[in-house]
Structure 1
Amino acid sequence: MIARSYPFGPVDGLEIDPMYARLRDDEPLARVKLPHGEEGWLLTRYDDVRLALGDPRFSLAQAAVRDTPRMGPQRIGAILTDLDPPDHTRLRRLLAHAFTVRRVEQLRAGAERIAGELLDEMEKAGPPADLVTAYAVPLPGLMVCDLLGVPYTDRDHFQDLAAAFMSITAMTDEEKLSRLGELAAYLSGLADQRREHQEDDLISALVVAQEEGDRLTADELVQLTVLLLGAGYDSTAAHIANSVYTLLQFPDQAELLRSNPELMPAAVEELLRWIPAQEISDILPRYALEDVELSGGTVQAGEPVLLAKHAANRDPRQYPDPDRFDVTRNAKGHLTFGHGPHHCIGAQLARMDLQVALTAILERFPALRLAGDVPWRTGMAMRGPLAMPVAW
Structure 2
Amino acid sequence: MLDLKDLSLNIPETTKPRVVIIGGGFGGINLAQKLPGKQFQVVMLDKQNYHGFWPLLYQVATAGLEADAIAEPLRKMFDEDYEDFHFRPVRVTSVNPATKTISTLIGDLSYDYLIIATGTKSNFFGNDQIKQNSFPLKKITDALNLRSQILQCFEKANMTTNAALRQSLLNIVIVGGGPTGVETAGALAEMRKHVLPGDYPGMDFTKMNIYLVEGLDRVLPPMSPESSKKTQAYLEKMGVIVKTKTLVESYDGEVVTFKGGEQIQTQTLVWAAGVAGATLPGIPQEIIQRGGRYPVNLFNQIEGYTDIFAIGDIAMMKSEKYPNGHPGVAQPAIQQGQHLAKNLKRLLAGQELQPFSYFDKGSLAIIGRARAVADLPGKITLGGIIAWFAWLFVHIYYLIGFRNKLVVLSNWLYRFFTYERGTRLIIRPFIRKGDKATETFMKQQAAD
TM-score interval for Structure 1 and Structure 2 normalised by the shorter chain: under 0.3
Instruction: Report the TM-score when normalising by structure 2.
Output: 0.22
State which structure, 1 or 2, has the greater radius of gyration over its C-alpha atoms: 2
Larger relative contact order (C-alpha < 8 A, sep ≥ 6)? Answer: 1
Question: Is the helix fraction higher in 1 or 2?
Answer: 1
Q: Name the structure with the higher strand share.
A: 2
State the TM-score, normalizing by the size of structure 1: 0.25
